Amino acid sequence: MNYREQLEILQQKKQLRKLRTMQPLIDGYVILNEEKKLNLSSNDYLGLGTNEDLKREFQQLLNSHPEWHCYTASSSRMLSGNNELYEQVENALSIHYGKSALFFNSGYHANIGILPAITTKNDLILSDKLVHASLIDGIKLSSAKHVRYRHNDYDHLRKILKENRGRFDRVFIVTESIFSMDGDRCDLVELINIKHQFNVQLYVDEAHAVGAVGTKGLGICEELGVVDEVDLIIGTMGKALSSVGAFVICNESVKQWLINKARPFIYTTAMPPINLAWSLFIINKIPFCNIERQNLKTLWRNLGESLNAEGFNVNAESHIIPVVIGDNETTVKLSEHLLKKGFVVMPIRPPTVQVGTSRLRISLSASINWQDIKLLGLEIRNFTKSLG
Ligand SMILES: Cc1ncc(COP(=O)(O)O)c(C=O)c1O
């Protein structure tokens, strides 16, 4: 393959990805190219990542724990990297959820490790058509048979199950609770009905819900009181929980199985203790972040209403609000236009989303002021009108 030529093709299709350097400030702002912009492409949903009070409090805690001042684990968890902080983090999660917890280096590691570890060639994985790339990659690495059902279409899922359930030992339904690029939610109650009807297992990735949703901020499973009904819940630390890493909530025998079989758990250097210490600190804060969760909810409801008033017909079911534009070129131009107006809203294009559904993915943070985004809908409307 000629990389240069292929990159040129990507450029022509307006699909070339480039890195931008940004420096976070407070209240949802960043410095980009030496200018202050409002960041609407971050997953710091509660604004904890830039909360100076929290940083100060953590700093004080660090002063009394010199053993946490360690910036590498120097080994995998299986060897000598299993710092006692891992146990504390997993215990804290386990107490929150009332089930066992196992920590991974990232959500990507978790999804590509767990799915191959828990399935065999005699199993079937049924995944929602729009699940995240890490889930798709995990499914590809597993030896199970795989079929996708149409997005949130449970009649379709039932049909596939009726035709196939008898042919497989076990069946796993894989979904996100809040979809990363669409911001809509799966219907967990319906999925649990299906689970019981067909005797299948549920694997729910709550990457975008953990921290941001739930009475205790533990996600949609917690909000609906169905943690015990879901076999595996994935939570990530890098989004609302403003840290790094991920976890799975499951029963103890699945946890022990993963310790033995999940390759991205076994064959990688463990988390540095300093990151685990921050994760533990944040995990203990999460149940008490109701004000942030309420602010976030008010913000996405307001923005949803304002975008709909401008005629965009957005689905505003969460803090992730997609404005689907369609083609790559217009989406990129709109994103560039918004940047000039002071908003960072990255264009999302294929292969992340389906061809013809390129979009602006607006992701909100509780630290943003409504006044700062009040006119965003109008700005997008004016731009699209100017195109005719
Ligand atoms: C649904 C979902 N799962 C997993 C991940 C990966 O998590 P991490 O960033 O911790 O690797 C993401 C990241 O965007 C995601 O959206």
* pLDDT tens per residue, range 96-154: 999 999 999 999 999 999 999 999 999 999 999 999 999 999 999 999 999 999 999 99
Query: Quick one: which atom of ligand 1 is closest to the CA of 245?
Result: 10
Predicted local confidence at residue 78, as pLDDT = 96
Q: Percent of the chain beyond pLDDT 90?
A: 97
Whether the pLDDT of residue 296 is over 90: the answer is yes
Q: What is the chain's mean pLDDT, rounded? A: 97
CA of 166 from ligand 1 middle (Å) equals 32
pTM score, whole prediction: 0.96
CA of 105 to the centre of ligand 1 (A): 11
Q: 47 — phi, psi (to 5°)?
A: 75, 15
DSSP letter, residue 184: -
Distance from the alpha carbon of residue 32 to the mean position of ligand 1, in angstroms: 24
Instruction: Please report the beta strands in the chain, taking only residues with DSSP state E, as ranges in sequence order.
Output: 22-24, 29-32, 35-39, 100-104, 124-128, 145-149, 171-176, 201-205, 232-236, 246-250, 320-326, 343-344, 347-348, 358-363
CB-defined site of ligand 1, < 6 Å: 106-108, 111, 132, 134, 176, 180, 205, 207, 236, 238, 246
DSSP 8-state code for residue 268 = S
Domains observed in the chain:
3-52+289-386 (3.90.1150.10), 70-287 (3.40.640.10)
pLDDT of 388 above 90: no
pLDDT, tens only, 254-271: 999 999 999 999 999 999
Please report the pLDDT score of residue 62 as a whole number. 97
Q: What share of the chain in percent tops pLDDT 70? A: 100
Distance from the alpha carbon of residue 287 to the mean position of ligand 1, in angstroms: 21
**d(CA 234, ligand 1 centre) in Å:** 9
Residue 315 has pLDDT above 90, yes or no: no
pLDDT at 61: 97
Q: Give the type of residue at 314.
A: V
CB under 8 A, 24+ apart: contacts of 349-357:
349/14, 349/15, 350/15, 352/133, 352/181, 353/181, 356/326, 356/327, 357/324, 357/326
Most informative mutation of 41, 45, 134 for ligand 1 (most atoms within 8 A of CB): 134
Site to probe by mutation for ligand 1, drawn from 135, 236, 241, 279 as the one with most ligand atoms within 8 Å of Cβ, is 236
Ligand 1 centroid from CA 186, angstroms:
17
Of the candidate ranges 213-217, 319-323, 381-385, the one whose mean pLDDT is the lowest: 381-385
Q: Is the pLDDT of residue 38 over 80?
A: yes
Distance CA 279, CA 281 (A): 5
Q: Which atom of ligand 1 is the closest one to the Cα of 111?
A: 4
Reply yes or no on whether the pLDDT at 218 is more than 80: yes
Task: Tell me the pLDDT tens digit for each residue of 317-362.
Answer: 999 999 999 999 999 999 999 999 999 999 999 999 999 999 999 9
pLDDT band at residue 387 under the 50/70/90 scheme: confident
Question: How many Cα atoms are found within 13 Å in the side-chain-facing hemisphere of 114?
Answer: 34
CA of 380 to the centre of ligand 1 (A): 28
Question: For residue 169, what pLDDT is reported?
Answer: 98
Question: Which ligand 1 atom sits nearest the alpha carbon of residue 237?
Answer: 10
Q: Cα 164–167–173 angle (5° rounding)?
A: 55
Summarize the confidence of residues 66-79 as an average pLDDT: 96
C-alpha pair distances (Å), 350 with each of 231, 285, 358:
31, 37, 7
**Ligand 1 mutation target, pool 132, 137, 178, most atoms within 8 A of CB:** 132
